[in-house]
Chain A
Amino acid sequence: MSAEAVDLTVRFGAVTALAGVSLTAPPGRVTAVVGGDGAGKTTLLRCLAGALAPDAGRVVGPAREKIGYLPASSGLYPDLTVTENLDFRAQGYGLPRRVARQRAGEYLERAGLTAAADRLVGRLSGGMRQKLAVIAALLHRPDLLILDEPTTGVDPVSRSGLWWLIARAAADGCAVVLATTYLDEAERCAGVLVLDGGLPLASGSPEEIVAALPGTVRAVPARPAGPAGDRAWRRGGGWRVWEPGPPRGADAGGADAGGPDPGGTGAGGPDASGVAGRPAGLAAGAGSLITPDLQDAVTVAALARQAALAGQSEVARPTGAGTA
């Protein structure tokens, strides 16, 4: 069954951790909650898991015993062994011992943890511990699996192991909600909610978020001078600059989203949507128009909000002229 958080507001004293945030997690899908430190990811997940009552809004979801939750702290006992931790969790959720042992064995095998079954959790490496924490959270086959940054600080090999477990749970029909700081992980999810300072910044599928990007993005070799510099960010070896405009997805955005970079040649052949929204004056030589990915889209969303907050009308004003 799906889980839903509607219009959640959570305050901790004077700090508003969440302000009117909604999230829907359909079964069989992985939904990512993305955001920087203090964005409200953990607070949202705690509300979904029932560990925190929101000040306003509501949470609809499965019963407590059908939720699996991996808190940011992993929720495992460092002074118990791998097997003992799983035993405790299984008993807590009322799983018959035989079923629990069989499932645990299967998951441990898949995660490459069989040899570590009798080791103390406190002695495990970070990646092994996270894999175990995810196994512990899904051992009772929950309908809703909530994972708070399961892959943070985990090496690439363990990360792929973790993703195998997560994808398997989703394939079994579980609604998975996970918080992550990695946008490449969010890009593989069916749904993404981007949070910033407790406010929703963007939501939808990765394609929808990219399509909703207002304006265009160019790749440039160096940070542009002038006001455009405030709309630039480093990406790989170069820089990207955002030119405000109407949403890309307004006409053709959906078609080329995720496709190969049409402007990669640097010849300045802008696509139709780019021309429509792009202010004139930014010389073709100043950079090539690219198809933005989720990371670009999230960055632009944050820039757009900053601009709006600063009360600037820059979003609507053509500013490219000075940068040429």
Chain B
Amino acid sequence: MWAMIVKEFRQLRRDRRTLAMMIVLPVLLLVVLGYAASFDVKTITVAVAGPQASVVSATLHAPFEVTVTAPAQGAAWARNELRDGHTEMAVVTGSAHPLVLIDGSQLFAARAALTALSGLERAGASGASTSGASASGAPGGSALPVTPTVQVLYNPGLTTSDIMIPGLCGVVLVFVGTIITSLGVVRERQTGTLEQLAVMPLRPRDVFLGKIVPYFLVATVDLGIVLAVGIAIFGVPFRGNPLVFALGALLFLFVTLGSGVLISSVSQNQGQAIQLAMMTLLPQILLSGLIFPLSSIAAGVRWIAYLLPLTYFNIISRGVMLKAQPLSSLWPSFLFLGLLGAVVVTGATLRFRSYLAPARQRRRSRPAAATQEAGA
């Protein structure tokens, strides 16, 4: 048994990546689950519109945080603020019963808002019946002077599947795009066929694209299945423009396929590729807003979320499917996704090229009896 133990430790020492993973993974999980994994929403951003906007703003206290007060604006503006994701709740004053709009696609913020509102209403009711004074002791702020009309938009039933399935589309794309692709490319290296590809009269671009296109198609089919099942069985709405969604998915797939190739180009075998791919998948699932709301992630860790492509795809897919967000209000997410894609795909192409055709870099085309000059 001793011989086995010694041998195992020696092998482990050689396998730097597994060693790194054994150390990094627990730390990563600790940070993510400790700082990020929280369903508790501590602040709910509010936009207030209408003639009495200033008065209402003054009565709203924590957990509500008024970010905009716009007395000149009305209900239409408030809806746009919600749709574009600028705020989680909007209050429209001006009528006998102020209209409270809540963004149901922000599931946990919406639930917190409803809880806080009902607290306010109870406080308001009891305050009016006893002395008419404001119930300053009520949790969540001072009482509302009147009972508001509350409307939950985009996900009125506050259904979990409605927000999970658009996010799941992204996870499927990461899975096929990054994990399966990285395995496929590293397999060429493992079986030694990469050397054969390098000497065949194929351009590196042909090899690169030829390697990626099948996975692109598989990912597209997978995405279609998840969408179809989500809509048909789970009743998830698809309210927006499918073209905007398709454009987002295309851009996102571009990033995931690129990272798949990048991972495979720095991996020697399929085991290493899987390890690295998991290392990119895990933070994306935990930190992208897929499960835990972005606003609940501690600020020190939240910046990581904004480096992850899935974060932007989540915003796009939920925005299009639930809120019918147009391209004009989603453009920042498209922009960041495009930037990430450009960086990743450029890196992947360069790495792939350098290990596919080391000899060809110095010899662009070799006619029938050409000479290969190197070094001299």
Q: Identify the A interface with B (CB < 8 A).
A: 1, 9, 46-47, 49-67, 69, 71-78, 89, 92-94
Contacts and interface: CB of A to CB of B under 8 A. Distances in A.
Interface in B350-376: 358-363, 366-376
Given A9-B375, A59-B372, A92-B202, A53 B362 contact: yes
B201 interface: yes
B366 to A, nearest CB: 5
Nearest to B207: A92
B199 A54 contact: no
A67 B195 CA distance: 14
B375 A54 contact: yes
22 contacts: A50-B198, A50-B199, A50-B359, A51-B198, A51-B358, A51-B359, A55-B375, A57-B376, A58-B372, A60-B369, A60-B371, A61-B372, A63-B370, A66-B368, A71-B195, A71-B196, A73-B191, A76-B191, A78-B191, A89-B200, A92-B202, A93-B201
Interface of B: 191-193, 195-196, 198-202, 358-363, 366-376
B191 to A, nearest CB: 6
Contacts of A53: 358-359, 361-363, 372, 374
A62 B191 contact: no
The 4 A-B residue pairs with the shortest CB-CB distance in the complex, in nearest-first order: A73-B192, A75-B196, A56-B375, A65-B201
Contacts of B360: 50
A202 to B, nearest CB: 25
Contacts of A57: 374-376
A50 B374 contact: no
Contact of A73 (B195, B366, B367): B195
B291 to A, nearest CB: 36
Contacts, number: 89
A75 B366 contact: no
Nearest to B362: A53
A59 B370 CA distance: 9
Looking at chain A's contact residues, the main secondary structure is: loop
B372 A62 contact: no
Contacts of A78: 191
A60 B202 CA distance: 20
Given A67-B199, A71-B192, A74-B192, A58 B376 contact: yes
A56 B198 CA distance: 21
B196 A69 contact: yes
Given A59-B371, A67-B199, A75-B195, 16 more contacts: A50-B359, A51-B195, A53-B361, A53-B363, A53-B372, A56-B375, A57-B376, A63-B367, A64-B366, A65-B201, A69-B196, A72-B192, A73-B191, A75-B192, A75-B193, A76-B193
A92 B195 contact: no
Contacts of B192: 71-75
Contacts of B363: 50, 53
A61 B363 CA distance: 13
A54 B369 CA distance: 18
A56 to B, nearest CB: 4
Given A50-B359, A50-B366, A51-B359, A64 B373 contact: no
Contacts of B372: 50, 53, 58-61
Given A69-B196, A77-B193, A54 B366 contact: no
Contact of B359 (A52, A74, A92): A52
Nearest to A148: B195
